[in-house]
Structure 1
Amino acid sequence: MENKQVYRLQGLSCANCAATFEKNVKAIATVKDAKVNFGAATLTVIGEASIEELEKAGAFDRIAVIPETERKDQKAEPFWKKKTNVIALISAFFLLAGYVSAYAMGERHIATILLFAASIIIGGYSLLKTGLANLVRLQFDMNTLMTIAVIGAACIGEWKEGAVVVFLFAISEALERYSMDTARRSLQRLMDIAPKKATVLRDGKEYEVDVEDVVVGDTILVKPGQKIAMDGVVLRGESLVNEAAITGESMPVAKNVGDEVYAGTMNEDGALEVRVTKRVEDTTIAKIIHLVEEAQAERAPTQQFVDRFARYYTPTIMLIALFVATVPPLWLGGEWLTWVYRGLTVLVVGCPCALVISTPVAIVTAIGQAARQGVLIKGGVYLEEIGKISAIAFDKTGTLTTGIPEVADIYSFSDLDEKELLKIAAAIEKQSEHPLASAILRKAEALQISSDDLQVSEFRAMAGKGAAARVNGVMYYIGKPSLFSEAIHEDIRAQIAREQTQGKTVMLLGNETKVLGMIAVSDQLRENAASVLETLRNLGISQTIMLTGDHETTARAIASSLPLTDIRAELLPEEKWTAIQTLQRQSGRIAMVGDGVNDAPALAAADVGIAMGDIGTDVALETADVVLIGDDLEKLPYVIRLGRKAMRIIQENIAVALLLKVLALVLIVPGWLTLWMAIFADMGATLLVLLNSLRLLRLDGISKKR
Structure 2
Amino acid sequence: MTPPAQQAVPHDPSTLTLRVEGMDCGGCERKVESALQRLEPVGHVSASALNGRVRVSADEGGTLSRNAIAKTIQALGYTVIDEADDSASTASSSRWWQSAKGRLVIVSGALLCLAWVLHVAWPTLGSGPFIAATLVGLVPIVRAAWQALKLGNPFTIEMLMSIAALGALAINAAAEAAVVVFLFAVGELLEGVASTQARRSIASLAKLTPSTARLLEQGEVREVAAASLIPGQRVQVRPGDRLPCDGHIMAGQSSVDESPVNGESVPRAREVKDPVFAGTVNLDGVLEVEVTRSAENNTIARVIQLVEEAQAAKAPVARFIDRFAFYYMPAVVGVALLVAIAPPLVSSMLWSESIYRALALLLIACPCALVISTPAAIAAGLSVGARHGLLIKGGAVLEQLGKLKRVALDKTGTLTAGTPIVTDVESLQDSDDASDILRLAAALEQGSSHPLAVAISEHAQQQGAAIPTVQAAYALAGQGVAGQVAGRDLMLVSPRYLQRFAHRPSGWDERIAALENQGKSLAVLVENQRPLGLIAVRDEPREDARQGLQALERLGVQAVMLSGDNARTVAAIGERLGIQSEGQLMPEDKAQRVRDWQAQGLGPVGKVGDGINDAPALAAAEVGIAMGSGTDVALETADAALLKNRVGGIAEMITLSRVTMRNVKTNVALALGFKALFLISTVLGITGMWVAVMADTGATVLVTLNAMRLLRYRF
For residue 192 of structure 1, give the secondary structure of its aligned residue in structure 2: helix
Larger RCO, structures 1/2 (Cα 8 Å, 6+ apart): 2
Counterpart in the other structure of 1:193 = 208
Counterpart in the other structure of 1:85 = 102
For residue 647 of structure 2, give the secondary structure of its aligned residue in structure 1: coil
CA distance in 1, matches of 2:98, 2:222: 39
For residue 584 of structure 2, give the secondary structure of its aligned residue in structure 1: coil
CA distance in 2, matches of 1:177, 1:394: 44
Q: Conserved in 2, the CA contact under 8 Å of 1:71 and 1:196? A: no
Q: Conserved in 2, the CA contact under 8 Å of 1:230 and 1:279? A: yes
Cα displacement (A) at 1:187? 3.3
Q: Conserved in 1, the CA contact under 8 Å of 2:215 and 2:234? A: yes
Q: Conserved in 1, the CA contact under 8 Å of 2:112 and 2:178? A: yes
Spell out, residue by residue over 1:166-223, the C-alpha distance to the aligned partner (whole angstroms, 9 max, x if none). 2222222222222222222233211111111011122322211112333332221111
Q: Conserved in 1, the CA contact under 8 Å of 2:24 and 2:50? A: no
Spell out, residue by residue over 1:453-511, the C-alpha distance to the aligned partner (whole angstroms, 9 max, x if none). 99xxxxxxxxxxxxxxxxxxxxxxx9xxxxxxxxxxxx99989853442123699xxxx
Give the alignment's TM-score, normalised by structure 1. Answer: 0.80
For residue 392 of structure 1, give the secondary structure of its aligned residue in structure 2: strand
Structure 1 counterpart of 2:707, from 693, 699, 706: 693
- Pairwise CA RMSD of aligned residues? 3.6
Cα displacement (A) at 1:598? 2.0
Spell out, residue by residue over 1:542-591, the C-alpha distance to the aligned partner (whole angstroms, 9 max, x if none). 42222223344322321333243x33333332332233344443544332
For residue 560 of structure 2, give the secondary structure of its aligned residue in structure 1: strand
For residue 286 of structure 1, give the secondary structure of its aligned residue in structure 2: helix
Go from structure 1 to structure 2 and tell me whether the alpha carbon gap of 1:520 and 1:557 turns closer, same or farther (over 3 Å shift).
same
Is 1:13 the counterpart of 2:24 in the alignment?
Answer: yes
Counterpart of 2:27, as a letter, is N
Cα displacement (A) at 1:5? 5.4
Q: Conserved in 2, the CA contact under 8 Å of 1:505 and 1:551? A: no
Cα displacement (A) at 1:254? 1.4
CA distance in 1, matches of 2:128, 2:453: 87
CA distance in 1, matches of 2:129, 2:516: 88
Counterpart in the other structure of 1:524 = 540
Q: Conserved in 2, the CA contact under 8 Å of 1:24 and 1:58? A: no
For residue 358 of structure 1, give the secondary structure of its aligned residue in structure 2: helix
Counterpart in the other structure of 1:663 = 677
Counterpart in the other structure of 1:488 = none
Structure 1 counterpart of 2:592, from 578, 588, 591: 578
Counterpart in the other structure of 1:233 = 248
For residue 580 of structure 1, give the secondary structure of its aligned residue in structure 2: helix
Structure 1 counterpart of 2:353, from 338, 346, 353: 338
Cα displacement (A) at 1:443? 7.4
For residue 577 of structure 2, give the secondary structure of its aligned residue in structure 1: coil
CA distance in 2, matches of 1:18, 1:327: 34
Counterpart in the other structure of 1:601 = 616
Q: Which moved more, 1:279-288 or 1:44-53?
A: 44-53
Go from structure 1 to structure 2 and tell me whether the alpha carbon gap of 1:686 and 1:112 turns closer, same or farther (over 3 Å shift).
farther
Matches within 5 A, 1:346-365: 346-365=361-380
CA distance in 2, matches of 1:141, 1:503: 67
Counterpart of 1:16, as a letter, is G
Spell out, residue by residue over 1:368-387, the C-alpha distance to the aligned partner (whole angstroms, 9 max, x if none). 12111111110101111122
Structure 2 counterpart of 1:125, from 116, 139, 142: 139
Counterpart in the other structure of 1:628 = 642
Counterpart of 2:131, as a letter, is A
Counterpart in the other structure of 1:250 = 265
Q: Which moved more, 1:437-446 or 1:239-248?
A: 437-446
Go from structure 1 to structure 2 and tell me whether the alpha carbon gap of 1:562 and 1:452 turns closer, same or farther (over 3 Å shift).
closer
Q: Which moved more, 1:572-581 or 1:674-683?
A: 572-581
Report the count of equivalent residues: 627
Is 1:536 the counterpart of 2:552 in the alignment?
Answer: yes
CA distance in 2, matches of 1:297, 1:321: 35
Counterpart of 2:683, as a letter, is V
Q: Which moved more, 1:652-661 or 1:300-309?
A: 652-661
Counterpart in the other structure of 2:451 = 439
CA distance in 1, matches of 2:365, 2:349: 23
Q: Conserved in 1, the CA contact under 8 Å of 2:364 and 2:692? A: yes
Counterpart in the other structure of 2:662 = 648
For residue 544 of structure 1, give the secondary structure of its aligned residue in structure 2: strand
Counterpart in the other structure of 1:54 = 70
Q: Conserved in 1, the CA contact under 8 Å of 2:35 and 2:153? A: no
Go from structure 1 to structure 2 and tell me whether the alpha carbon gap of 1:316 and 1:26 turns closer, same or farther (over 3 Å shift).
closer
Spell out, residue by residue over 1:249-298, the C-alpha distance to the aligned partner (whole angstroms, 9 max, x if none). 12112111122211111110000111222222122221222222122432
Cα displacement (A) at 1:144? 2.5
Go from structure 1 to structure 2 and tell me whether the alpha carbon gap of 1:187 and 1:134 turns closer, same or farther (over 3 Å shift).
closer
Q: Conserved in 2, the CA contact under 8 Å of 1:610 and 1:626? A: yes
Matches within 5 A, 1:283-322: 283-322=298-337
Cα displacement (A) at 1:164? 2.0
Cα displacement (A) at 1:51? 7.1
Counterpart in the other structure of 1:569 = 583
Go from structure 1 to structure 2 and tell me whether the alpha carbon gap of 1:559 and 1:153 turns closer, same or farther (over 3 Å shift).
same
Cα displacement (A) at 1:35? 4.9
Counterpart in the other structure of 1:41 = 52
CA distance in 1, matches of 2:632, 2:700: 40
Cα displacement (A) at 1:534? 2.2
CA distance in 1, matches of 2:416, 2:376: 37
Counterpart in the other structure of 1:260 = 275
Structure 1 counterpart of 2:79, from 43, 63, 66: 63
Q: Conserved in 2, the CA contact under 8 Å of 1:87 and 1:122? A: no
Counterpart of 2:562, as a letter, is L
Q: Conserved in 1, the CA contact under 8 Å of 2:517 and 2:572? A: yes
Counterpart of 2:544, as a letter, is N
For residue 170 of structure 1, give the secondary structure of its aligned residue in structure 2: helix
Counterpart in the other structure of 1:165 = 180
CA distance in 1, matches of 2:476, 2:33: 60
Counterpart in the other structure of 1:550 = 565
For residue 58 of structure 1, give the secondary structure of its aligned residue in structure 2: helix
Counterpart in the other structure of 2:6 = none
Q: Conserved in 2, the CA contact under 8 Å of 1:407 and 1:439? A: no
Counterpart of 2:612, as a letter, is V
For residue 216 of structure 2, give the secondary structure of its aligned residue in structure 1: strand
Go from structure 1 to structure 2 and tell me whether the alpha carbon gap of 1:409 and 1:227 turns closer, same or farther (over 3 Å shift).
same
CA distance in 2, matches of 1:267, 1:671: 65
